[in-house]
Amino acid sequence: MSTIDPAHPSGDDSDLDRVLHGVLAARRRERTVMSTSADRAARVVREQVVEGHLRSGTRLPEERLAAALGVSRNTLREALSQLVAERILVREPNRGVVVSTPDIDDVRDVYAVRRLVEPAALAHGTGHSPARIATVEAAVDEGQRAVAADDWPGVASANQHFHRAVVALAGSPRLDAQMHLLLAEMRLFFHLMGDPEPFHRPYLDENVTIARLLTSGERQTAADRMTDYLIAAQAQLVEAFASQG
Amino acid sequence: MSTIDPAHPSGDDSDLDRVLHGVLAARRRERTVMSTSADRAARVVREQVVEGHLRSGTRLPEERLAAALGVSRNTLREALSQLVAERILVREPNRGVVVSTPDIDDVRDVYAVRRLVEPAALAHGTGHSPARIATVEAAVDEGQRAVAADDWPGVASANQHFHRAVVALAGSPRLDAQMHLLLAEMRLFFHLMGDPEPFHRPYLDENVTIARLLTSGERQTAADRMTDYLIAAQAQLVEAFASQG
DNA sequence: ACCGTAGAGATTGTTCAACAATTCTTCAAT
DNA sequence: ATTGAAGAATTGTTGAACAATCTCTACGGT
């Protein structure tokens, strides 16, 4: 339709068409980021949950929550649908949504995914650019600095950055997005557990080792270390869940 | 709370409590499956898209679609939010939702995920039960029967079952769900391409080989075959996209 | 005291109607 | 052929409403 359709074979306009088409696409992307108020509401609730201000099991009554967020109940429900799809919230039919309470099987499953994906990203990922490897190293440094400052929330955060950076070595936006969701679930686990230190202290050195192996190109060895790492971390979390959660 | 709260330390009631708690959880799951009308609407639209009755790029006007599905516009919007999250639809702000039109980068990314996950599930999956291996073999048989009947949609369907069964070897519900979404996207690719035969014919024998290797316990070899398979399939699809899509 | 139950109150699932903001169409004027 | 402006159509969002379902409480029977 009109001059902006690149399918139209109008001779020397084709270059212009391509450019204009690109401009349109860019504007569309631009608007996509500011997004709708349902998305904004979802972002706020998501933040509150992963930061631990809304704890597992908390009910989220639609009317009060909508009022608090300054949106209508209908708009809020769109937001909640999103978060349910992300597994951050759970919908109990006719009872509303609650902040999800992961059980021991969720822990096992999340680690099953991670044990499959993270070592594979290290060993066989097709996106091992210097920049991405540098991001892994940066996350390790961030963790070292945080532990030196005795900042355990900071260590937890750095640890997430580390694992996201590892998955990013696969070079796949879809995998990155998936890992983002998994790590959000992980934060729910830790909020159930309380003190984060015992769950991060043992693995700081491992992060350093894996990063070093990665830098020196020993990808398979790095992957094997990551496998052991994840098995140990899973065992620790499962045990903690079994004994207290 | 009342008698069904397992946190209540009431001596020998704890066994009973656990049982009752389980019953409640089961009922909740039960109700979850019949689900809301937004979910039903989402299922109908999803079906129409993956079956190819709604083609890439088609606009989905809210008013008409809501009327067609017999739900209100608000309810429909909840359904559409879900499908946007699944990448089956794309929301263009102030312009509504359209059936998503995957581009060549989407093809590459979907295959990047598959190349990471599927071989890893074969080589390192922790759910290689006889039953799951039998499911893989059943999918191969299904494909052989379909090709014998010259039923190419049937072959395509069997092929999906094969790959889902392979991923299921990881024993992870989350990974299964993720793979389900990826395969739905794959169907969009194929609908853009037209005739499914050239995209499935070359890989039928590979499926047989991989299943055989799996049955005989040669997991790493099976994984390597799968890697080659996926690289070839990706190359074919990328080329087809570049030349016509 | 214990149990079941009826009914009141609250919350969800869903619909309808409306309106501002934005996009698409049409069509006349240059 | 391009521009611009009025008009129609669609989306984003709201508010109010109502039936269905769930929760809690108080009551009465045993």
Average pLDDT, consecutive stretches of 10 residues, N- to C-terminus, chain B (245 residues)? 34 40 45 75 96 95 97 97 94 95 96 98 97 98 97 95 98 97 95 92 96 98 97 96 85
With an 8 Å Cβ cutoff, is B113 touching chain A?
yes
User: pTM for this one?
Assistant: 0.87
With an 8 Å Cβ cutoff, is A35 touching chain B?
yes
- Give B32's contacts in chain A (Cβ within 8 Å): 91-93
Which residues neighbour A154 within 8 Å (Cβ) at sequence distance 6 or greater? Answer: A142, A145, A146
Q: What pLDDT was estimated at residue A194?
A: 86
R_g of chain B computed on alpha carbons = 22
- Give A173's contacts in chain B (Cβ within 8 Å): 109
- The distance (Å) linking the CA of A78 with the C1' of D14 is 14
* pLDDT higher than 50, residue A189: yes
**Cα distance from N-terminal residue to C-terminal residue, chain A:** 60
Distance CA B122, CA B224 (A): 9
Give which of A20, A93, A102, A26 is closest to A57, Cα–Cα: A102
- Considering Cα of A198, then A181, then A56, then A115, what sign does the dihedral take? negative
Mutate to test the interface with B, among A174, A179, A183, A189 (most CBs of B within 10 A): A174
* pLDDT higher than 60, residue A16: no
Q: What pLDDT was estimated at residue A112?
A: 98
* pLDDT higher than 50, residue A133: yes
Q: What pLDDT was estimated at residue B67?
A: 97
pLDDT (tens digit per residue) in A34-80: 678 999 999 999 999 999 999 999 999 999 999 999 999 999 999 99
> What are the angstrom distances between the C-alpha of B108 and each of A224, B85, B112, B183?
27, 20, 6, 14
- The distance (Å) linking the CA of B41 with the C1' of C17 is 22
Distance CA B127, CA B169 (A): 5
Closest chain B residue to A121, measured at CA: B116
Give which of B198, B211, B195, B237 is closest to B144, Cα–Cα: B211
Distance CA A55, CA A195 (A): 15
Closest chain B residue to A30, measured at CA: B93
Cα angle A135-A138-A142, degrees, rounded to a multiple of 5: 140
Q: What pLDDT was estimated at residue B35?
A: 75
Q: What pLDDT was estimated at residue B244?
A: 80
Q: Nearest nucleotide to A76 by CA–C1' distance?
A: D13
- The distance (Å) linking the CA of B78 with the C1' of D21 is 21
The whole-angstrom distance between A151's CA and the closest CA on chain B is 32
Nucleotides on chain C within 7 angstroms of protein Cβ:
11-18, 21-25
Cα-to-chain-centroid distance, residue A56: 18
Distance CA A242, CA A51 (A): 24
Q: What pLDDT was estimated at residue B22?
A: 42
For residue B54, the SS3 value is coil
